[in-house]
Amino acid sequence: MMSLFPLFLKLEGRPVLVVGGGEIAEGKVSSLLHAGAFVHVVAPTATLAISAWAEEGRIQWHKRSFAASDVSDQELVIAATSSPDVNHEVYAEAHRHRVLCNVVDDPPYCDFYFPAVVRRGDLQIAISTGGQSPALAQQLRLQLESQFGPEYAERISELGRQRREVLATQPPGDARKKLLHELAQEVLEFDPVEAKAHRKDRKIQPEGKNVYLVGAGPGDPGLLTLKAHRLLGTADVILHDELVSQEILQLARPDANLVNVGKRHGAKRITQEQ
């Protein structure tokens, strides 16, 4: 069997045709709306959900049978009627217009397949068996949904924020790449049960600035802990002594206030009281 090329497609505002108005078509329309597609439905009758989406202006519903001209100007076509003859006619017209088409549950008449999908916010895991066993794909989806719970939506959002912060504050190189991978590893090692218990037991802290003590080690940025990298890259003010290397200080934000509080014999910079 021909190998499939996996990809995630941006459909925001793009026209997609769904031929059929039953429950299967409803599921496809729902997924397309989630992706922001501009959906056209062609069907004499439709489910209550499709009818409601049309009344709300979220889709265009043409209450009639399929016509060859319906395929014009569409970027994707999905045939989901109960008639194989109509579905195959839709597929033929789509190919004549060089538009990719999916005939639901009819692999020989599919240019692409709809995978089973696990959605957790911006995290999407798609599973496909190339049309060999949609049932297996669904079983795998259930297993992955159990492994990656709803809490991953928040974790992925926070990971994205941390990544943008690192890219904005850290110079390109192996140290930055390592930090990004360590941040991702933190997400995989996240235990939602433990985190929930921690939140429950933790006392509410008053709002205000935080102070952290960071050990610089022997001076090699690559030997700093993940948290040390993150704190140095986000701190407003960094107090350091003479032993901290310039390589480590360069991890600070460009606008951070670096204050040398180091002490050397006969050359005090900052008094103990300060």
Tens-of-pLDDT digits for all 274 residues of the chain? 568 898 999 999 999 999 999 999 999 999 999 999 999 999 999 999 999 999 999 999 999 999 999 999 999 999 999 999 999 999 999 999 999 999 999 989 999 998 889 989 899 999 988 878 888 999 999 999 888 888 888 999 999 999 999 999 989 998 899 999 989 888 887 665 554 554 444 443 444 567 888 888 887 877 777 677 777 777 778 888 878 888 888 777 666 788 888 765 555 555 555 5
Whether 242 maps to a domain, the answer reads no
- Does one domain contain both 70 and 135? no
Whether 220 is catalytic is no
- Structural domain that includes position 137: 115-148
- Does one domain contain both 86 and 49? yes
CA distance 175 to 143: 35
- CATH number for the domain including 133? 3.30.160
- Does one domain contain both 58 and 119? no
What pLDDT does 203 receive? 41
The pTM of the full predicted model, rounded to 2 decimals, is 0.64
- Does one domain contain both 35 and 107? yes
Edge-to-edge order in the sheet of strand 59-62: 59-62, 38-42, 15-19, 76-79, 100-103
- CATH number for the domain including 78? 3.40.50.720
- Beta strands at 15-19 and 257-260: parallel, antiparallel or unpaired: unpaired
- Does one domain contain both 96 and 79? yes
Q: Count the domains in the chain.
A: 2
Question: What tens digit of pLDDT does each residue of 114-138 get?
Answer: 888 998 989 999 998 887 888 899 9
Of the three residues 114, 135, 165, the one that is the final residue of a domain is: 114
b/e code 215-250 from CB counts within 10 Å (16+ = b)? ebeeeebeebeeebbbbbbebeebebeeebeeebbe
Ramachandran angles phi, psi of 112, nearest 5°: -155, 160
Whether 162 maps to a domain, the answer reads no
Whether 33 maps to a domain, the answer reads yes
What pLDDT does 206 receive? 43
- Does one domain contain both 71 and 127? no
Query: Which of these is catalytic: 73, 220, 236, 241?
Result: 241
Of the three residues 94, 125, 148, the one that is the final residue of a domain is: 148
- Does one domain contain both 97 and 141? no
- Does one domain contain both 76 and 119? no
What pLDDT does 205 receive? 44
Query: Which of these is catalytic: 63, 177, 227, 263?
Result: 263
Whether 179 maps to a domain, the answer reads no
Whether 241 is catalytic is yes
Whether 128 maps to a domain, the answer reads yes
Of the three residues 96, 127, 148, the one that is the final residue of a domain is: 148
CA distance 184 to 123: 13
* Residue carrying the six token digits 């993150």: 230
- Does one domain contain both 131 and 95? no
Whether 2 maps to a domain, the answer reads no
Whether 129 maps to a domain, the answer reads yes
CA distance 21 to 23: 7
| 274: CB partners within 8 A, 6+ apart | 261
- Does one domain contain both 96 and 142? no
Residue 193 class from Cβ within 10 Å (0-12 exposed, 13-18 middle, 19+ buried)?
A: exposed
Question: What tens digit of pLDDT does each residue of 21-43 get?
Answer: 999 999 999 999 999 999 999 99
